[in-house]
């Protein structure tokens, strides 16, 4: 007897349940009539096009082959999500790894949850789904956060709620995009970790950041070692800068934005002509003040 492949047993039973009236195309001449928004249906792979908003840019071939083998043996346990573009045309929203592995496994169709989404909603769903479910590298996460802020017009507070991370974590990821390209590439290739990168961010000079990054890679420095070296650099830079020279207004503005992102609230940087100054952190209420206090204690 030929083994039926392509769907997991539980999912296959759901799709074949007459009460769901979803896959009646096996007995109906008009299969597309059953493929409407809100349903789960088996859709021919050739009718699905990739997601142009996919935040993941690299897929490990070994992982795809491993997943393809699992699909051959067990079927697809979790449906992909698509949006309907037109008659028998669909576009992937999420589940690209499963989709690619299904192609490698030789499936002719995949189970899919069909929904209606405009481009903005589709981008948001794809980004959030990937951030929560896929092992993106830190830079891919940071880029996804940035796109959600800029292209979907989310606030940092709304973004943190959607992805299930606090605002300080979101801010730390966004700060990675300020690192030199060499260091960002190192993060993508996992030559350094998030802890190393956070320590490097505290160094203001990009050339010194790059120099310390190379030391990390060559000497396999631990996060604690990098934090210690960054603190030494900061103290040295502080002594060199204590000449009374005032920062430019543009630099004040940039620092204010960075600190605002870090604390999730308005931060003003003010400096007198002699070089001394103060930082003002705004808070809305006692609860917000406690939140800021906890963030300061972590650093």
Q: Which residue is catalytic, options 49, 73, 96, 218?
A: 96
Q: Which two three-digit tokens encode residue 267? A: 């931060």
| DSSP output for 96-131 | HHHHHHHHHHT-SEEEEEEE---HHHHHHHHHHHHH
Beta strands (DSSP E) in 4-64 are 40-44, 48-49
Element (H, E) at 74: helix 61-74
Element (H, E) at 13: helix 9-16
129 as an active site residue: the answer is no
Which residues contact residue 254 at a Cβ distance below 8 angstroms, ignoring those fewer than 6 apart? none
Coil, helix or strand at residue 55: coil
Residues noted as catalytic: 96
């Amino acid at each position: 007897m030929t083994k039926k492949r392509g769907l997991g047993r539980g999912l296959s039973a759901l799709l074949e349940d007459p009460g769901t009236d979803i896959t009646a195309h096996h007995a109906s001449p008009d299969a597309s009539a059953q493929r409407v928004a809100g349903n789960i249906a088996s859709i021919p792979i050739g009718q699905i096009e990739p997601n142009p908003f996919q935040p993941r840019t690299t897929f490990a071939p070994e992982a795809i082959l491993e997943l393809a083998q699992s699909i051959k043996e067990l079927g697809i346990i979790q449906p992909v999500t698509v949006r309907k573009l037109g008659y028998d045309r669909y576009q992937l929203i999420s589940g690209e790894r499963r989709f690619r592995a299904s192609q490698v496994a030789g499936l002719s169709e995949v189970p899919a949850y069909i929904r209606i989404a405009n481009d903005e909603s589709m981008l948001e769903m794809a980004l959030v789904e990937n951030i929560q479910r896929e092992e993106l590298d830190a830079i891919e996460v940071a880029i996804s956060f940035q796109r959600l802020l800029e292209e979907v017009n989310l606030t940092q507070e709304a973004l943190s709620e959607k992805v299930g991370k606090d605002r300080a974590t979101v801010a730390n990821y966004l700060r990675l995009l300020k690192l030199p390209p060499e260091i960002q590439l190192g993060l993508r290739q996992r030559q350094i970790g998030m802890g190393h990168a956070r320590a490097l961010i505290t160094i203001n000079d990009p050339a010194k950041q790059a120099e310390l990054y190379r030391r990390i890679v060559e000497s396999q420095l631990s996060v604690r070692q990098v934090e210690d070296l960054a603190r030494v650099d900061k103290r040295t830079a502080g002594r060199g800068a204590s000449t009374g020279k005032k920062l430019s207004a543009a630099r004040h503005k940039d620092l204010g934005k960075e600190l605002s992102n870090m604390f999730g609230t308005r931060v003003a940087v003010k400096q007198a002509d002699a070089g001394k100054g103060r930082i003002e952190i705004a808070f809305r209420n006692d609860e917000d003040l406690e939140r800021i206090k906890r963030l300061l204690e972590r650093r």
